[in-house]
Amino acid sequence: MQGLMQDWPLLCHRIIDHAAIYHGGREVVSRSVEGPIHRTTYAELRRRSLRVAQVLDRHGIGLGDRVATLAWNTWRHLESWYGILGVGAVYHTVNPRLFPDQIAYIVNHAEDRILFTDLTFLPLLEGIADKLETIELFVVLTDEAHLPQTSLRNVVAYESWIAEGDGDFAWKAVDENAAAGMCYTSGTTGNPKGVVYSHRSNVLHSLAFNTPDMLGIAARDRVMPVVPMFHANGWSLAFTAPMAGATMILPGAKMDGESLYELLDGERVTLTAAVPTVWLGLLQHLEASGKMLPHLKRVVIGGSACPRAMAETFENVYDVEVIHAWGMTETNPLGTVATIKPDYAGLEGDALFDIKETQGHPPFTVEMKITDDAGNPQPWDGETFGRLKVRGPAVAKSYFKGEGGEILDEAGFFDTGDVSTIDPNGYMHITDRSKDVIKSGGEWISSIDLENVAVGHPDVAEAAVIGAAHPKWDERPLLIIVAKPGQMPAKEDIVDFMRGKVAKWWLPDDIVFVDEIPHTATGKILKTALREQFRGYRLPSADAAE
Ligand code: AMP
């Protein structure tokens, strides 16, 4: 016997319909790439998305065609996404921080037909134009007056281009399992691989992650996604915020502390989201200027581990609740959120931050397990490390064009490549990437835990830990530090600071000071480059052991 309820496909463009009908006057405020602050509403944004869809349709773009976007978070980018979705095509976000050759590779691999770009990236595109084999048209997200001379062929200004349509267009009806979006993994090893979201996965993911114990965004919220739409599906905020009818504030190209503060304060943002390096910039700006954050209530921090000192500063100094989240491109992208369940209600001080330091617990729709290398489940005791595996309706089952082969185990779980513990209440704590964990005398040392403790030292701006070869222990931790401007902490002083905060045998064998730590295109510490840079590094303890 079948259920007798309606078949109402879970389509992304129904989200903008909902926002326009029930929250039509709510604003979408952007810092435009041209400079001024721009204001529109969900109702107007939907009208213009319909024009995008109409003009794409006239161009012959339809079901399953890929359309690339190389763009900052602005209203035009958002309109483009919904227009692309509404014609049954697939938005493919391209991360401009990738190497130009990688950009050419993924655009060709995805066979993108049209590319929407911000003005910022015209020089980049001019440099690789002859390598882009499938692009028929470049749509520059600006108006005619701001369109500069360019050597690119087939270029139009977005505003003139959408003016060719009148918006009298109906969204295409597509299957909810049809492809909606594409995002390539950062590809620290090998070529980037394409993750393909479906309408259904985007909608279910947004519903699941907007429940009260997850992001819990309400119509009264004023949400600023600083995380770029090109980073891991923009953490889905382009769907979650309109679904909730929340005001959106989009920071455009400027993500320095001062520019972010201007919007946080001027636009009375209540919830914002970004990777730790972005918040480092904001906190430094606040510290130097003595400004406070009276409107901001919650900050979502993910993409890499939120250092404990950062969480403490936000909560204790600025009275902003930290929501630590974990996820990855392959999980649409959120997987867990560290909000406080009743099991931990009433915790204070260090005990509370111990929980906030974990990556949290999943909503309904995400299942987790940890296993050893042979695939045997490991206990949820909060101490035993294992490979973290996940499954659910918004988790990748394979990569575009079958790259990377079979990626699920027999039970349908995807191996995240992360190593974690899970505690009896289902809180997951990442201890490392499986590639980065330091193997010392057959035991594992968490590089992330060491980094988190080291950045708590008042003179340390950023810290990274890698394994350095050791004749007796195989690997031992080497701590690499960027000191705060004007500070020159002593090595012994840092080790003393760390003592007692991690197991004694985890303490780094040596510390080096550098001016800069390399980052990936999504703001994570680039461990592969550090390992290359310090390949053959002789630890003093290695000399002593021989
Ligand atoms: P990406 O697909 O580029 O977003 O990278 C996903 C990876 O980032 C995950 O597999 C983790 O290794 C790392 N990551 C994301 N969020 C966190 C977090 N809160 N703490 C530690 N690592 C994280």
CATH of residue 533: 3.30.300.30
| pLDDT 10s digits, 462-502 | 999 999 999 888 899 999 999 999 999 999 999 999 999 98
CATH code of the domain in which 138 resides: 3.40.50.12780
| pLDDT 10s digits, 175-190 | 999 999 999 997 555 6
* H-only helix segments in 296-442: 308-312, 349-356
- The protein residue with its alpha carbon nearest to ligand 1, atom 9, reads 328
Q: Quick check: is 403 in a domain? A: no
Q: Quick check: is 48 in a domain? A: yes
CB 69 within 8 A of CB 95: no
pLDDT given at position 461: 93
Distance CA 502, CA 444 (A): 13
For the segment 435-452, the average pLDDT, to the nearest whole number, is 87
CB 61 within 8 A of CB 87: yes
Residue 437 Cβ inside 6 Å of ligand 1? The answer reads: no
Q: How far is CA 126 from CA 28, 155, 219, in A?
A: 31, 11, 42
pLDDT given at position 98: 87
Q: Quick check: is 438 in a domain? A: no
Asked if 185 is an active-site residue, the reply is yes
What separation in Å is there between the alpha carbon of 367 and the centre of ligand 1? Answer: 17
Q: Quick check: is 507 in a domain? A: yes
Q: Which DSSP helix (H) or strand (E) runs through 20?
A: helix 13-22
Residue 329 Cβ inside 6 Å of ligand 1? The answer reads: yes
Residue 304 Cβ inside 6 Å of ligand 1? The answer reads: yes
Asked if 330 is an active-site residue, the reply is yes
For the segment 54-61, the average pLDDT, to the nearest whole number, is 98
Per-residue three-class SS string for 184-225: ECCCCCCCCCEEEEEHHHHHHHHHHHCCCCCCCCCCCCEEEE
Residue 430 Cβ inside 6 Å of ligand 1? The answer reads: yes
Distance CA 450, CA 439 (A): 14
pLDDT given at position 188: 56
Strands 222-225 and 179-184: unpaired
- The protein residue with its alpha carbon nearest to ligand 1, atom 22, reads 304
Mean pLDDT across the chain, nearest whole number?
A: 95
Cβ neighbours of residue 71 closer than 8 Å, sequence gap 6 or more: 77, 80, 116, 117, 118, 121, 141, 229, 230
pTM of this structure: 0.91
pLDDT given at position 440: 87
Which one of 214, 246, 278 terminates a domain?
246
Q: Quick check: is 131 in a domain? A: yes
CB 191 within 8 A of CB 105: yes
- Residue 531 burial (CB < 10 Å; 0-12/13-18/19+)? middle
Examine the pLDDT at 546 and tell me if it is beyond 80: no
CB 34 within 8 A of CB 73: no
Give me 172's structure tokens: 């295409």
Residue 418 Cβ inside 6 Å of ligand 1? The answer reads: yes
CB 495 within 8 A of CB 507: yes
What separation in Å is there between the alpha carbon of 168 and the centre of ligand 1? Answer: 42
What separation in Å is there between the alpha carbon of 304 and the centre of ligand 1? Answer: 5
Residue 49 Cβ inside 6 Å of ligand 1? The answer reads: no
What 420-423 contacts at long range (C-beta under 8 Å, 24+ apart), as own/partner pairs, is: 420/359, 420/370, 420/385, 420/386, 420/388, 421/370, 421/381, 421/382, 421/383, 421/384, 421/385, 421/386, 422/368, 422/370, 422/380, 422/382, 423/358, 423/380, 423/381, 423/382
Nearest atom, ligand 1, residue 433 CA: 12
Which one of 212, 246, 280 terminates a domain?
246
What separation in Å is there between the alpha carbon of 303 and the centre of ligand 1? Answer: 4
Distance CA 286, CA 280 (A): 10
- Percent of the chain whose predicted confidence (pLDDT) is above 90: 90
φ, ψ of residue 188 in degrees (nearest 5): -70, -25
Which one of 246, 278, 304 terminates a domain?
246
Distance CA 312, CA 293 (A): 15
Distance CA 262, CA 272 (A): 13
Residue 69 Cβ inside 6 Å of ligand 1? The answer reads: no
Residue 416 Cβ inside 6 Å of ligand 1? The answer reads: yes
The one catalytic residue among 185, 247, 365, 522: 185
Q: Quick check: is 133 in a domain? A: yes
The one catalytic residue among 397, 401, 439, 472: 439
Residue 302 Cβ inside 6 Å of ligand 1? The answer reads: yes
Distance CA 173, CA 444 (A): 51
Distance CA 228, CA 234 (A): 5
Tell me the best of 418, 433, 451 to mutate to test the pocket of ligand 1, counting ligand atoms within 8 Å of each CB and taking the most.
Answer: 418
Q: Give residue 520's region: left, alpha or beta (phi > 0; psi -120 to 50).
A: beta
Residue 42's domain spans which residues?
A: 13-23+34-198+228-246
- The protein residue with its alpha carbon nearest to ligand 1, atom 10, reads 328
The structural domain count of the chain equals 2
Tell me the best of 193, 230, 304, 432 to mutate to test the pocket of ligand 1, counting ligand atoms within 8 Å of each CB and taking the most.
Answer: 304
Nearest atom, ligand 1, residue 416 CA: 10
Per DSSP, the residues of 248-266 read: EEE-BT--SHHHHHHHHHH
Examine the pLDDT at 151 and tell me if it is beyond 90: yes
pLDDT given at position 189: 58
Distance CA 28, CA 25 (A): 9
Residue 522 Cβ inside 6 Å of ligand 1? The answer reads: yes
String of b and e for 171-186 (b: at least 16 CB within 10 Å)? Answer: bbebebebbbbbbbbb
Asked if 40 is an active-site residue, the reply is no
pLDDT given at position 290: 97
Residue 95 Cβ inside 6 Å of ligand 1? The answer reads: no
pLDDT given at position 441: 82
pLDDT given at position 538: 93
Q: Quick check: is 460 in a domain? A: yes
φ, ψ of residue 131 in degrees (nearest 5): -95, -10
Give residue 215's pLDDT band: very low, low, confident or very high (50, 70, 90).
very high
Give me 79's structure tokens: 């309109």
Give residue 68's pLDDT band: very low, low, confident or very high (50, 70, 90).
very high
Q: Quick check: is 157 in a domain? A: yes
Give residue 99's pLDDT band: very low, low, confident or very high (50, 70, 90).
confident
Q: Mean pLDDT: which of 189-203, 210-224, 512-526 is highest? A: 210-224
Q: Between 304 and 19, name the one with better pLDDT.
A: 19
What separation in Å is there between the alpha carbon of 494 and the centre of ligand 1? Answer: 27
